[in-house]
Amino acid sequence: MAVIGVHCKIRKRKVTHFEIHSKCPPMGLETLKIDDFQLHASTTKRYGLGAHRGRLNIQAGLYEDDLYDGAWCAGRDDPLQWFEVDARRLTKFTGVITQGRSSLGRESDWVTSYKVMVSNDSHTWITLKNGSKDLIFIGNREKEIPVRNIFPAPVIGRYIRVNPRSWLPSGSICMRVEILGCPMPDPNNYYHRRNEVITTDDLDFRHHSYKEMRQLMKVVNEMCPNITRIYNIGKSHSGLKLYAIEISDNPGEHEIGEPEFRYTAGSHGNEVLGRELLLLLMQFMCLEYLSGNQRIRHLVEETRIHLLPSVNPDGYEKAFEVGSELSGWSLGRWSNDGIDIHHNFPDLNSILWDAEAKKWIPRKMFNHHVPVPEWFLSKNASVSLIDCYIVL
């Protein structure tokens, strides 16, 4: 048997910049791997043209006002608009693919140029640069053919935004988008969507009595002593203290220029969900702060938050003692003095008194609200306390 020898010469070829950066695949806007909750936009023309429709190759409905139209379209046509994708984990972004709006009519809408920005926390954004200048990517020339732009170098972040800079003069800002990106290898850096509370968190999901509520607030304070403070605003008719918890990077201190919020729940004592929501909120904020959640840390450092989970504990205890089957809708609803605390806010009183004057309600309601302090209305006041109440 003859053996034939083959002489092969191996040629070295330099791998191009484009080949290196184009290896990251599409993240999945088109395939729905990226879900609707991960897509956000500055403004929206209408629901059917919302951020959830800004997916590559998505098709328009049969009618132009269909709930499922053919792109994301901004509510205004100006350079301040953006389309955002939350990767939910640190990702190496390498490129963007864009199309115009799919339309069965004569409408022509597409973006002709855009910038790209990335962020780790959705607050601080970095624009891709070409030297010292913002990098401008060339977009579409018609509505259907996709245009791919590969970044000069990969960028790492959790969020990515496409910021349209110019568009068809006779059209509007409308885009269908795909992002090219590779998730970073750490499997523990997955984040849930903004404001998402999931039941796998170590939160206490149950109804809490007055004593249990106090104990839970104490646990939160002990877990996060540097950002929480418990205080009381007085006592109920039966002598129960009205406990509140403050969440701030400097608890107990009034910081000039820092906004303050107070959330008050349980004004109707027999409506219990508001109390539980605030107890869950204080647990969630403490745990997320400790875990390094950037959005929660931003809230704590830039806002002074007060949570008052039960402003009518007497009513709660009265309704709880009888039980939900026997208490009825009114037992525990009001304070022991017969005051409906829920209607005890200045902004609602004018409506209430007008109703009395027109004989729309059968009897007079007490108005024992505490007037707004004069210093709140002063021209030199630096902070306003915004008071919200929850009656679920």
In the prediction, which pLDDT does 58 show? Answer: 94
Q: How far is CA 243 from CA 8, 328, 330, in A?
A: 83, 27, 24
Residue 306 predicted with pLDDT over 90: yes
* Average of per-residue pLDDT values in the chain: 81
Q: Has residue 189 got a pLDDT over 60?
A: no
Question: If pLDDT is split at 50, 70 and 90, which confidence band does 160 have?
Answer: very high
pLDDT of residue 177 exceeding 90: yes
For residue 131, which amino acid is it?
A: G
Q: Are strands 260-265 and 385-390 parallel, antiparallel or unpaired?
A: parallel
Q: Is it the case that residue 213 has pLDDT exceeding 60?
A: yes
Collect all residues with Cβ–Cβ distance below 8 Å to 291 and sequence separation of at least 6: none
pLDDT at 186: 64
pLDDT greater than 50 at residue 163? yes
Across 18-25, average pLDDT: 62
Q: How far is C-alpha 147 from the chain's CA centre?
A: 31
Contact criterion met (CB below 8 Å) for 113 and 166 = yes
Centre a 10 Å sphere on the Cβ of residue 360 and count the other Cβ atoms it contains: 9
Band the pLDDT of 355: cuts 50, 70, 90.
Answer: low
pLDDT at 307: 95
Higher confidence at residue 135 or residue 254?
Answer: 135
- Please give the average per-residue pLDDT across 192-216, as a whole number: 70
Q: Between 238 and 202, whose confidence is greater?
A: 238
Q: How confident is the model at residue 365 (pLDDT cuts 50, 70, 90)?
A: very low
Residue 364: Cβ-neighbour burial (10 angstroms; 0-12, 13-18, 19+): exposed
Residue 7: pLDDT over 60: no
pLDDT at 380 over 60: no
The DSSP annotation for 251-311 comes to TT---TT--EEEEEE-SSTT--HHHHHHHHHHHHHHHHHHHT-HHHHHHHHH-EEEEE--S
Q: Measure the CA–CA gap between 193 and 89, rounded to whole angstroms.
A: 10
Confidence at residue 19, expressed as pLDDT on a 0 to 100 scale:
45
- The pLDDT of residue 202: 64
**Rg of the chain in Å (alpha carbons):** 29
Residue 382 has pLDDT above 60, yes or no: no
Quote the percentage of the chain above a pLDDT of 70: 74
Q: Does 62 have pLDDT greater than 50?
A: yes
Q: What percent of the chain clears pLDDT 90, i.e. is strictly above it?
A: 50
Q: 246-262, pLDDT tens digit by residue?
A: 999 999 888 888 888 88
Determine contact, residues 283/205, Cβ cutoff 8 Å.
no
The SS3 of residue 195 is coil
- Residue 16 predicted with pLDDT over 80: no
The pLDDT value given to residue 187: 54
pTM of structure: 0.48
DSSP assigned state of 204: -
Q: Is the pLDDT of residue 214 over 80?
A: yes
Residue 263 corresponds to which tokens in the numbers above?
Answer: 């959330």
The one-letter amino acid at 342: H
Report residue 109's pLDDT band, with 50, 70 and 90 as the boundaries.
very high
Residue 118 forms beta bridges with which residues?
126, 160
Please check the confidence at residue 73 and state whether its pLDDT lies above 50.
yes
pLDDT at 283 over 90: yes
Question: Are 107 and 85 contacting, i.e. CB atoms less than 8 angstroms apart?
Answer: no
The pLDDT of residue 390 is 52
DSSP designation for 387:
E
